């Protein structure tokens, strides 16, 4: 299960209700940030999530509203004397911005916590067994921007009626069968996993796309996602301005979700120039299963 906590949902300029962009993802005992805008550490505290087991930051791009929270977060983690190594993933130019920012504050290689930098290209970011993180390039002005996909594999579960019918007792034998290994029960009969496992089920796919000026070429990464999180900075009536600033409209985001068989759409990176209801209405006409993200919303997939 993927659990998302929206820590910041504003576009460029924060408001009293919306902080700079940041998203906390929790899955299989791991916790990571997607972007880290200014004030993210306070948002972590206000959300109740805190700083425990936080050791990875995935950066969509290097614009300051997405990265300025890193120094403050690192300073706090240093004061707490965390022993974890923080890994920051981002495009090469994005990482260069972060490295220069940290070097300017503390000197080269002297950040308050141990940190390593992992440049992104279009490939798998991490395979944690219970889930896989992938990345793909997106276009946003002059940046090296990336979107992220998170996928958990389908699993086969034991069929209780088959176990009972074949006389497999509760206990370690069932664990062996669930792991794909045959067992021998009383009487010398061998039970094969295929005899008691159901069909694969439960695969989940989450896709997070930050700032982007177009959805061209992204369908293969988004198709059939259970949840798509994507920006909707402008409304359709301001589409020319959206092009000038390298952003999407709510209508474009909704059409993208509809075209790619997405199950649920969450819009974020919202501009204070619009009422929330306007954004929702424009998107819902095209893709009904849509919601507008608010700071501290929590969604599970």
| pLDDT by position in tens, the chain (length 301) | 899 999 999 998 999 999 999 999 999 999 999 999 999 999 999 999 999 999 999 999 999 999 999 999 999 999 988 767 999 999 999 999 999 999 999 999 899 999 999 999 877 788 877 899 999 999 999 999 999 999 998 878 888 999 998 889 989 999 888 888 999 998 889 999 999 988 877 799 999 999 999 999 999 999 999 999 999 999 999 999 999 999 999 999 999 999 999 999 999 999 999 999 999 999 999 999 999 999 999 999 9
Q: Which pLDDT does position 118 carry in this prediction?
A: 95
* SS3 per-residue string spanning 87-134: EEEECHHHHHHHHHHHHHHHCCCCCCCCEEEEECCCCEEEECCCCEEE
**Residue 160 structure tokens:** 């209780």
Residues 116 and 152: beta-carbon distance below 8 Å: no
**Residue 248 structure tokens:** 């999407």
**Secondary element (H or E) of residue 228:** strand 227-231
Q: Which pLDDT does position 83 carry in this prediction?
A: 67
Q: How far is CA 236 from CA 9, 243, 273, 282, in A?
A: 20, 11, 13, 8
**Residue 216 structure tokens:** 């061209």
Q: What are phi and psi of 243, to 5 degrees?
A: -65, -45
- CA 273 from centre of chain: 26
Axis crossing angle, helix 250-259 with helix 276-284, rounded to the nearest 10: 30
What residues are annotated to the active site?
A: 65
Q: Which pLDDT does position 135 carry in this prediction?
A: 96
Residues 187 and 225: beta-carbon distance below 8 Å: no
How many Å apart are CA 141 and CA 184, to the nearest integer?
Answer: 62
**Residue 155 structure tokens:** 């699993």
């Amino acid at each position: 299960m993927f659990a998302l906590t929206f820590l910041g949902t504003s576009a460029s300029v924060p408001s009293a209700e919306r902080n700079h962009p940041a998203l906390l993802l929790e899955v299989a005992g791991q916790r990571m940030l997607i972007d880290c805008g200014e004030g993210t550490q306070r948002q972590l505290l206000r959300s109740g999530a805190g700083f425990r087991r936080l050791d990875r930051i995935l950066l969509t791009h290097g614009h300051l509203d997405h990265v300025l929270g890193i120094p403050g977060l690192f300073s706090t983690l240093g004061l707490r004397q965390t022993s974890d190594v923080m890994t920051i993933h981002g495009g090469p130019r994005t990482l260069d911005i972060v490295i220069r920012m940290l070097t300017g504050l503390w000197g080269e290689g002297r950040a308050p916590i141990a940190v390593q930098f992992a440049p992104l290209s279009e490939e798998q970011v991490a395979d944690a067994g219970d889930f896989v993180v992938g990345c793909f390039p997106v276009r946003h002005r002059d940046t090296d921007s990336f979107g992220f996909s998170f996928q958990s594999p389908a699993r086969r579960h034991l069929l209780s009626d088959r176990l009972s019918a074949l006389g497999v007792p509760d206990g370690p034998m069932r664990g062996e069968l669930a792991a794909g290994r045959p067992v021998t029960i009383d009487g010398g009969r061998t039970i094969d996993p295929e005899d008691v496992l159901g069909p694969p089920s439960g695969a989940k796919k989450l896709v997070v796309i930050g700032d982007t000026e177009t959805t061209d070429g992204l369908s293969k990464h988004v198709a059939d996602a259970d949840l798509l999180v994507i920006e909707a900075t402008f409304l359709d009536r301001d589409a020319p301005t959206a092009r000038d600033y390298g952003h999407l409209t709510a209508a474009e985001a909704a059409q993208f979700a509809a075209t790619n068989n997405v199950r649920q759409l969450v819009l974020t990176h919202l501009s204070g120039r619009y009422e929330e209801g306007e954004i929702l209405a424009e998107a819902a006409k095209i893709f009904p299963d849509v919601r507008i993200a608010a700071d501290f919303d929590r969604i599970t997939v």
